[in-house]
Structure 1
C-alpha cells in the first residue's frame, strides 16, 4: 500500500521514496506526494529521479488495492524495485488544481440544496453540474465567489467516521460520486471557521490553505445539460 503524503501536506513538492515495482504500466513507490486521479481531479504529473536516471510521470492514477501508480512513457528506462528515488511534482499545474478545487467548493456553497451531478477540475477551466432548474446569473456568481475569496477564509480538513457521515447525509453534495468507504474514516474539507463554515463536505482532493490563495475567478459559461441539469464553468483570472 502506497503511503499517501499529499493528504497530510498538499504543498509537498518533492520527496524521497522507494520503488516497490516497475513495469510497462508504470512505477509503484512506497510513499507518494503525487495525487492519483479521482473525484474529477486529474492525477499529478512530474518526474522520478534516481542515481543515474530520470523518467517523466505522465499521470498518477490508482493502481491495485491501495497503490498509487505513476504512469511513465512506453519503453522508458525505469528504476529497479528497491531503488531510492526522488519524486518531484509539476508544481504549477498541481497548485492550479488546488486553487480550482477550492473555488469549486465555494461555488457549491453559493448554490445550497442543489445536488452536484458531475464535475471536472482543470488547470485552465473547471466545471460543476447541478441538479437545478434555474441557476443564478454568471455575473452574480462571479461577484459572490470573489467576495468569499477576498474574505480569506481558512481551509482545513478533519475526519469523521462512516457512521457519523450516515447520521449527517446532508454533508454529501455529489449525486454521481460517493465518498470512498471501507477504511472507516471519511475526510471532510472545511472552508471557514466556527460552527457555521462557508462549506463543509467530504472530499479526498487537494486544496489551498485559504480562500485568498485562490485568486480572482470568473464564471464564464452556463449550459443546459438536461431538464434540471445546469453546467457552470469557471476560470482563474491571472494578472
Structure 2
C-alpha cells in the first residue's frame, strides 16, 4: 500500500481540500494520495468528516494508520466507496479537529507547569488529560490552573522544527513521555516548540496537530486530580469555551 502524504503536518489548518483515491482496504476503508485527516495516534483521536465526489458522498467516522505509511479513512457504516483513481473533496469536521488542536497544545503547556515525567495521556473534543509520575498530589491546584492560563494568555507562537533520529537519541531530555515513544524511524523527528528565544517554554517531539499560538486555546479549567496507582496521578483539563 502506498504511503499517504500527511497534509496536516504541513498545515494543521487545512480542512477543505481535493484528494485522489489510491486504494481501498479489505475492511472498507479509503486511502488517499494526500490526507487532511489526522490518524489516531499519540493520544489524539482520528479525524472525522466527509468525502464528496461526483455522484456520491461518504461520512468518515475516524481515521487510522494503515500499512506502510498509509492513512485510512474509515466510514461510519458500510457504504459505496469512491472508485480508486477518482477525485474527491475532503471535508474535515473542523470544529472537532480544532478543539483537538486547542487541547493538545494546552496539554503541552500542562507539562510545563507540572514538570514531571508523563506516563500517559488522551484527548477528546471536550477535555484532555495527562498522567504524571507524581507520588504526592500538588498542594495548590488553583495555582497550577492560574499558571497554565497565564501561559495561554501570553499568546506564545507555536512552531515546529525537525531533527534527525540520531539527534533525538543524543538529547533524551526532549522526551517527556514515558509510555509513548515519539514518532521516529523515518530518519527525522518533528519537534513542537512553544515560544521563541528567551520566551520559549516548551520543546518536545510530537506528531499531533496544534494551534498556531497559545492564545487560540482560550481559558481552561483543571478538573479533579486522581490517583492512578502508587506513583501516578491523572490531571484533566477542560476547555471553558
What TM bracket, shorter-length normalisation? Answer: over 0.9
**Scaled by the length of structure 1, what TM-score is found?**
0.97
Q: 1:175 aligns with which of 171, 178, 192?
A: 178
Is the Cα–Cα contact under 8 Å of residues 146 and 216 in structure 1 kept in the other structure?
yes
Written as runs of structure 1 = structure 2, the 5 A alignment for 1:93-108 is: 93-108=96-111
Q: Find the partner of 2:124 among 114, 118, 122.
A: 122
Structure 1 distance, partners of 2:66, 2:56, is 24
Counterpart in the other structure of 1:89: 92
Question: Are 2:62 and 1:67 aligned?
Answer: no
How do 1:133-148 and structure 2 match up within 5 A? 133-136=135-138, 137-148=140-151
Q: Deviations over 1:175-233 (max 9, x none)?
A: 00111221110000000101562111000000000000000000011000011101000
In structure 2, what is the Cα distance between the partners aligned to 1:135 and 1:32?
Answer: 42
- 8 Å Cα contact 1:22/1:79 also seen in 2: no
Match of 2:56 among 53, 77, 89: 53
2:197 is equivalent to residue 194 of structure 1: yes
Measured on the aligned residues, the alpha-carbon RMSD in Å equals: 1.1
Per the alignment, residue 219 of structure 1 pairs with 222
Task: Give the aligned length.
Answer: 237
For residue 73 of structure 1, report the CA deviation from its aligned partner.
3.1
1:17 equivalent in structure 2: 19
Q: Distance in 1 between matches of 2:198 and 2:145?
A: 26
Give, in whole Å, the separation in 2 of the partners of 1:19 and 1:219. Answer: 42
Q: Classify 1:59/1:41 alpha carbon distance in 2 versus 1 (closer, same or farther; 3 Å).
A: same
Partner Cα distance (2:128, 2:165) in 1: 29
For the pair 1:236 / 2:239, whether they are aligned, the reply is: yes
Structure 1 ranges of 4+ moved more than 6 A: none
TM-score, normalising length: structure 2: 0.96
User: Which sections of structure 1, spanning at least 5 residues, go unmatched?
Assistant: none
Q: Secondary structure at the match of 1:86?
A: strand
Could you tell me how far apart the structure 2 residues matched to 1:194 and 1:135 are?
Answer: 32
